[in-house]
Structure formats: structure tokens, C-alpha cells
């Protein structure tokens, strides 16, 4: 994107990186080359990446490492993560993971352990989890629902027509089913996220918003796709503010809270988004 300038100070970024490395933790901010990393690290916040830093899928848009053998699950990671939440003074913790199709439960049990450790070590901190689809494993999904995160997030990423090119090992129907399962619990905010600028049409995005609303999704993030490298999927267009406003307006019409803009990402300003959503839905 032309004219983009990273905010924040290098010293701030370094401080958070040092804390993560000392704790043996990863952040998706670094692994996925998020454009907002300096701003978030400058405020001593980050999105934790659990279950290692190697993904078992090969999505064409993602910068996370792939085509390698993932390491075994680190059973102590949940404790270290919770301690890092306390050290950073977070009031809202966001946890995501690589996809681990090599694990029987897709890593669901590890998500549960992380949530439980945060609540044990940092009571009062709200928890948002951004999960993979667990390979469609209903029991894995149920285990994560049972721990009742404050926000259950699962990204559908794009419209169904582009899945073979963008997410060849995923299925939109599987993702919508997972979101619907979370919504059926009635005790957590259900959230998703998509990218635009990878070959979709605005009307296709509007159709997807309707599908997400029908699945019970309550909040959606929409951001411009930025190509991590020349080896990744090319950007097809620079989405205009007019289009982003169309998405926001349609979301309001169907009861879906849509946060949309060029640099919007799944966990960007997650605490503020949650607070705004709660305030706007107070009786």
C-alpha cells in the first residue's frame, strides 16, 4: 500500500520481542508479517501464536512457515503464555495458532489449557481465541466452546469461489459450521475475519456477510490483503473506502458489527473492539 508509515518506536518493538523470546513464545504479529506490528508492540501488546510456528497447511496468502515438520506440543507453553500476559499488563489476551492437522484434536486441548492458565494466573483478563477449523472435528470444537472464551474467533478468510486457490485444504461450509456451533452456546462473542483484494467482487463479499450472519457471527473484520512476498498470492486490487463503507453499511443492516479498512486485521485493536461491541449492545 502506497504511503504507509509504521508507527511506534523500534525500542518498543524490541522490548516485546525480548519478552516473547525469553518466554519461548511466538507472536502471529511477527510470523505473519502484520503491518500493524509496530503500533501494537509499541503499546506492549501482541497476539500470541501457540502450537509452534509451523503450519500443516499451505494457504497461498499466509507468511507463516509451512512445508516443515511441526515440533511436538509444548505442554508448558500455556503457563508461560499466562505469565507473559501478566508481565505485559494485558487486560485482554488474544491467542491464535498455526493449523495442526497432525494432532488428533487439531490443538483444541492446548487452546483450552491456555485459557485456563490465563484465568488462573491473571484473573479478570478477558480472553479471545482465534482458532483453526480443527479439521471439522466436532468434539474438538465442543471442548473449546466449553471453556467459554470471551471471544470465539475463526476466520473464513475469503469467499467460497476462491477457496481452491486461497485455502485449498479448507472448506467454507466447515468454517461456517464451527462458527454456528460457537454461536449456539450463547455465552461468547462470535467473530470472524476476511481479506479483500484477492479476486473477489464486492457483491460476493456482501453474500458472504449474509452467510456469516446466518451462522450467528456477531463481529467481522475486513482488511486489504497485502502480499507477504513474491512467492505469495498477488494482490488483485486496492479496495476503495467506498467499498469498505458498503461492507460496513450492509453489516449494520443485517446486525453484523463490521470493522473494515485497509489495515484492519483479525486481532487489531481487539480489546477496544470488544468494549465498543459490549457498550453498543447494553440494554
C-alpha separations of 187 from 95, 142, 181, 190 in Å = 18, 13, 12, 9
Chain segment 32-83, per-residue pLDDT in tens: 455 544 444 444 456 889 999 899 998 999 988 887 899 999 999 999 999 9
Bridge partners (DSSP) listed for residue 222:
194, 260
Q: Which residues of the chain have pLDDT under 70?
A: 1-24, 26-46, 283
Work out whether strand 26-27 and strand 47-50 pair parallel, antiparallel, or are unpaired.
antiparallel
pLDDT of residue 43: 45
pLDDT at 163: 98
Q: What order of strands is seen across the sheet that includes strand 257-261? A: 26-27, 47-50, 92-97, 126-130, 151-153, 189-196, 219-224, 257-261
255 neighbors 210 (Cβ within 8 angstroms): no
pLDDT in tens, 265-277: 887 778 888 888 8
pTM: predicted TM-score of the whole model, two decimal places: 0.88
* Domains in the chain: ranges and CATH: 10-280 (3.20.20.70)
Question: Do residues 112 and 145 touch, judged by C-beta distance below 8 A?
Answer: no
Amino acid at each position: 500500500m502506497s504511503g504507509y508509515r509504521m508507527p511506534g518506536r523500534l525500542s518498543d518493538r524490541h522490548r516485546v520481542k525480548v519478552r516473547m523470546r525469553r518466554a519461548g513464545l511466538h507472536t502471529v504479529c511477527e510470523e505473519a508479517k502484520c503491518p500493524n506490528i509496530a503500533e501494537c508492540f509499541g503499546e506492549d501488546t501482541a497476539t500470541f501464536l501457540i502450537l509452534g510456528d509451523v503450519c500443516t497447511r499451505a494457504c497461498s496468502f499466509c507468511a507463516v512457515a509451512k512445508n516443515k515438520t511441526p515440533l511436538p506440543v509444548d505442554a508448558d507453553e500455556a503457563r508461560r503464555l499466562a505469565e507473559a500476559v501478566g508481565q505485559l499488563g494485558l487486560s485482554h489476551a488474544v491467542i491464535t495458532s498455526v493449523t495442526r492437522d497432525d494432532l488428533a484434536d487439531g490443538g483444541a486441548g492446548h487452546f483450552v489449557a491456555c485459557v485456563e492458565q490465563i484465568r488462573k494466573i491473571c484473573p479478570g483478563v478477558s480472553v479471545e481465541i482465534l482458532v483453526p477449523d480443527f479439521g471439522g472435528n466436532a468434539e474438538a470444537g465442543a471442548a473449546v466452546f466449553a471453556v467459554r472464551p470471551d471471544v470465539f474467533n475463526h476466520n473464513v478468510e475469503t469467499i467460497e469461489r476462491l477457496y481452491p486457490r486461497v485455502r485449498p485444504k479448507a472448506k467454507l461450509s466447515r468454517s461456517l459450521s464451527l462458527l454456528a456451533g460457537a454461536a449456539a452456546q450463547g455465552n461468547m462473542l462470535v467473530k470472524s475475519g476476511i481479506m479483500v483484494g484477492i479476486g473477489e467482487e464486492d457483491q460476493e463479499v456482501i453474500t458472504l456477510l449474509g452467510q456469516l450472519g446466518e451462522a450467528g457471527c456477531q463481529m467481522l473484520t475486513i482488511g486489504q490483503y497485502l502480499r507477504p512476498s513474491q512467492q505469495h498470492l498477488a494482490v488483485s486490487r486496492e479496495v476503495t473506502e467506498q467499498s469498505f463503507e458498503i461492507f460496513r453499511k450492509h453489516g449494520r443492516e443485517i446486525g453484523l458489527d463490521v470493522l473494515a479498512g485497509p489495515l484492519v486485521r483479525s486481532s487489531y485493536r481487539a480489546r477496544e473492539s470488544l468494549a465498543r461491541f459490549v457498550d453498543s449492545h447494553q440494554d
